[in-house]
Structure 1
């Protein structure tokens, strides 16, 4: 037997352990994992040189349709950073609120994506019953809700409508993706701070205090229970929210949790120091919160880690240098995602096995694309990331290929790097050089759910 591709001399990482051997690929699909002497011959052979291989990395939360970023530039940055499947989250520029918008967005990504992709839909006010059901049938992997205001381009769903839409999602077995902050608290705090003439960087932290995220999370848990809906609290920043979610799971609530590297690396001190460059929502929290979130991710209490890649331009961010409220919330993250998480392994606060769970298998299961994605097992797509755990990288603005051209981690040195990614048996990235062209990525519709 001879196969298309053999990757040998590797350390294969799974959530359940690490073993030495290799992977055999035929027709873009994994056909065998074995010790090197037991691997079949291959038309192409890649010697991993003893490096670790992770399952293909998923970014379950990225906004690449956010000028100056485009799906082409954003997915190219994803490929450079070692991401093999991107799940595009709707934003205010392209909300994806109905079947026609879903089809338009899917077709745009088909023409321009450098990696495989899924499409999350958005839930905004004013759309008819059955609208979310129709997009679920089109393959939508989740439905984004803003519990606080997202601005005029995203008609806000208030509590009554949230309950109605959760009930609809519960009926067809989908997934609500919930930006959970208390709108009234945010609105009143903003009014008070601006009336007091506050423009300083710390005002952002006072605008969005922990109680806003905690209360809203508790309310959403109650709503999910009442409607028997499955939901994920995205970009979770606080250990209190994690505790509340786990108590709810014991009560049968279908609640999942996502966090992001910014909550594992940055703190409120960084916000006060760097202002708009570290402005995102919910904001970075205290050092103790950061350490607790690291522990909770490592011990399995947080299901997934994703980027919330929101790459606003330098010009937009600089609007907040003299008035923090003038800058938009969001920052780039997809290009540094894998580097930062591998660095966490070298720092000792997470394991490679945990990364295989929270960056690959868990999100693939949650979004209904497992076992096609997220696993190194026979029958799965041959998606994998070869990682050099000894390689050091100094992150620099000038090296970023995301269209915004900056990173909040500028000047930071990290240890551990993705040096090659393979998507469906083809090399997509090698030593930071993107090999996949525009349109090389394929649409991955939801196939099931956890």
Structure 2
């Protein structure tokens, strides 16, 4: 007797489609059976004509807790994720305080307990002194974040030697090192003026230089790395030429695939972030990289601010708080590219579910709808469409840069470990059941 069977759907995996009835027991996918195979189940859902996707894994999210909860918190951020089909998100460590010690990590775990509507993996920041690294690894975070520019001095690995030292320290701990690429020597600490001056202060050369240094250091240290959001033609070209030197993956974001610097003049502060939006030519190169499969992961860099912060008057464009909400619109924004023919649904699953799950080593439970995996299921009706609207957003930011975009396909239900958490446009009235995940889901000795 199964707990649940979903009948009539087509399962989408990273490599194709499968017509099958999906059976769930104990929160896991128990079986994929030929359509209409007689089985006993406590509950049955008809999903005729719909696609069943594994829950998305957003590998780059700022939930803002602790310390910045006027922008977002565990409850609001994970509610937004649930409504958008992200059933697992990986939380960045740049809160107040940063997650860089055993105490700050355990405090974050404690704050999250009983307040998560989806599953969350925690990421830790590597200080220059690296003293806490081994103790942090024993707590089983999903990554160690290494910053090469635009951060406080305590976290700045801005030279080839300091980056190499960091990656050599990470290597024996067998955990993914995520590098935010930049070149501090090319960045201006204070930027005067407007949009053009801000964009010029964060040039593609800085990104490309950061990517090159990260890959070379990873090759020397023999450390697995993941390069955070890229959005320039020069950065893509650098990655293309150097990626075979090391065990490396790369991500970009929906906003960088959809917007260019020209959009600043319409959307202004709402899309101000770092890296800045690039030229139309840069954006088109990024889209081509998406089409060819060079991009491993699409994540959101969900980084909300309050509307008061975003709409206040600032002396320079650079002074506007950087970042925007995105976790609720990851699926919808990627369905846009399915609609344009840039990608297909298996590619969406690959970049937004399977690849991040495997890369961050939570793939034993996440990233696919196959027996033994968590029954994190998205039901998408291809015969309906979705209009992304400000008013539907559950993030405290209260807006989306994609307002008014209409995309093919509609998310009609979301299951977390076999339990419905979202159905027909509203969250289920159930207590939050999300958990904190760790890489391998076991302790590091």
TM-score of the aligned structures, taking structure 2 as reference length: 0.93
SS at match of 1:38: coil
Does structure 1 conserve the Cα–Cα contact (< 8 Å) formed by 2:204 and 2:235? no
Q: CA deviation at 1:443?
A: 1.7
Q: CA deviation at 1:341?
A: 0.7
Matches within 5 A, 1:46-445: 46-65=45-64, 66=68, 67-128=70-131, 131-151=132-152, 155-159=155-159, 160-187=161-188, 191=190, 193-194=191-192, 198=193, 200-251=194-245, 253-319=246-312, 323-435=316-428, 437=430, 439-445=432-438
Matches within 5 A, 1:15-26: 15-26=14-25
After the TM superposition, list the runs of 4 or more consecutive aligned residues in structure 1 that deviate by more than 3 angstroms.
319-322, 436-439
Which has the higher mean CA deviation after the structures are superposed, 276-285 or 389-398?
389-398
- 1:436 and 1:371 map into 2 onto residues whose CA distance is 29
Does structure 1 conserve the Cα–Cα contact (< 8 Å) formed by 2:158 and 2:184? no
Residues 363 and 39 of structure 1: is their aligned pair in 2 closer, same or farther, counting only changes over 3 Å? farther
**What is the aligned-residue RMSD (CA, Å)?**
1.9
May I ask how many residue pairs the two structures share in their alignment? 437
Does structure 1 conserve the Cα–Cα contact (< 8 Å) formed by 2:24 and 2:418? yes
- 1:76 and 1:132 map into 2 onto residues whose CA distance is 31
Does structure 1 conserve the Cα–Cα contact (< 8 Å) formed by 2:140 and 2:441? no
Q: CA deviation at 1:244?
A: 2.4
CA-to-aligned-CA distance 1:381-434 (integer Å, 9 cap, x gap): 111111122322322222211111111112222222322111111001112311
Give the unaligned 5+ runs of structure 2.
none
Q: CA deviation at 1:305?
A: 0.8
SS at match of 1:112: coil
Q: CA deviation at 1:8?
A: 0.9
Give the unaligned 5+ runs of structure 1.
none
Residues 15 and 141 of structure 1: is their aligned pair in 2 closer, same or farther, counting only changes over 3 Å? same
- 2:57 and 2:30 map into 1 onto residues whose CA distance is 21
Residues 34 and 295 of structure 1: is their aligned pair in 2 closer, same or farther, counting only changes over 3 Å? farther
Residues 322 and 301 of structure 1: is their aligned pair in 2 closer, same or farther, counting only changes over 3 Å? same
- 1:389 and 1:157 map into 2 onto residues whose CA distance is 46
- 1:249 and 1:436 map into 2 onto residues whose CA distance is 46
- 1:439 and 1:107 map into 2 onto residues whose CA distance is 15
Q: CA deviation at 1:301?
A: 1.2
- 1:270 and 1:321 map into 2 onto residues whose CA distance is 19
- 1:47 and 1:356 map into 2 onto residues whose CA distance is 22
Q: CA deviation at 1:321?
A: 6.0
Does structure 1 conserve the Cα–Cα contact (< 8 Å) formed by 2:305 and 2:321? yes
Residues 169 and 425 of structure 1: is their aligned pair in 2 closer, same or farther, counting only changes over 3 Å? same
- 2:77 and 2:363 map into 1 onto residues whose CA distance is 24
- 2:257 and 2:313 map into 1 onto residues whose CA distance is 24
Q: CA deviation at 1:92?
A: 3.8
- 1:369 and 1:264 map into 2 onto residues whose CA distance is 26
Does structure 2 conserve the Cα–Cα contact (< 8 Å) formed by 1:319 and 1:326? no
